[in-house]
Amino acid sequence: MGKVWLVGAGPGAADLLTLRAARVIASADIVFHDALVQPDVLALASRARLVDVGKRDGRHSTEQRFINRAIVEAARTHAVVVRLKGGDPMVFGRAQEELGALAAAGIETEVVPGITSALAASASLGISLTRRGTARHVAFVTPRTGAGEDASEWLASAASADTVALYMASRQAPAIAAALVAAGRSPSTPACVVENATLASERIVATTLGALARQAPLALDGPAVLLVGEVFREASSSRAGLPWTPVAQSGSIASERRNVTGR
Residue 141 CB-density burial (10 A; 0-12 exposed, 13-18 middle, 19+ buried): buried
Q: What is the DSSP string of 210-238?
A: HHHHTSPPP---S-EEEEEEGGGGGGGTT
Q: With bands split at pLDDT 50, 70 and 90, how would you rate the model's confidence at 243?
A: very low
Could you tell me which residues are beta bridge partners of residue 227? Answer: 165, 192
Other Cβ atoms less than 10 A from the Cβ of 69: the count is 13
Name the H helices within 168-222. Answer: 173-182, 209-213
CA neighbor of 84 nearest in space, from 147, 195, 10, 136: 10
Q: Which of 136, 257, 159 is nearest to 206 (CA)?
A: 257
Active site residues: 34, 55, 168
Q: What is the pLDDT of residue 219?
A: 79
d(C-alpha 56, C-alpha 105), whole Å:
28
Nearest in space to 170 (alpha carbons), one of 134, 120, 117 = 117
Name the strands in the sheet holding 244-250, side by side, starting at the edge strand that comes first in the sequence.
Answer: 138-141, 163-167, 224-229, 190-195, 203-208, 253-258, 244-250
E-assigned strands of the chain? 3-8, 30-33, 49-52, 80-85, 108-112, 138-141, 163-167, 190-195, 203-208, 224-229, 244-250, 253-258
Residue 33 pairs with which residues in a beta bridge? 52, 84
| Contact of 205 with 159, CB cutoff 8 Å | no
pLDDT tens per residue across span 176-233: 999 999 999 999 999 999 999 999 999 888 899 999 999 888 778 888 999 999 999 9
pLDDT for the residue 56: 61
**What CATH number is given for 117-258 in this structure?**
3.30.950.10
* Number of Cβ atoms within 10 Å of the Cβ of 142: 14
Q: What is the largest CA-CA distance in the chain?
A: 58
- The chain-wide mean pLDDT, for the chain, equals 86
Q: Kindly report the CA angle at 260 between 192 and 122, in degrees rounded to 5?
A: 30
The domain 3-112 having CATH identifier 3.30.70.260: the answer here is no
Are residues 99 and 32 in contact, defined by beta-carbon separation less than 8 angstroms? no
For the chain, give the percent of residues with pLDDT over 90.
71
Residues of the chain with CATH 3.40.1010.10: 3-112
CA distance 104 to 51: 23
pTM: 0.86
At 29-84, the pLDDT tens digits run 999 999 989 999 999 999 999 999 987 655 556 789 999 999 999 999 999 999 99
Backbone angles phi, psi at 204, to 5 degrees: -115, 130
Residues of the chain with CATH 3.30.950.10: 117-258
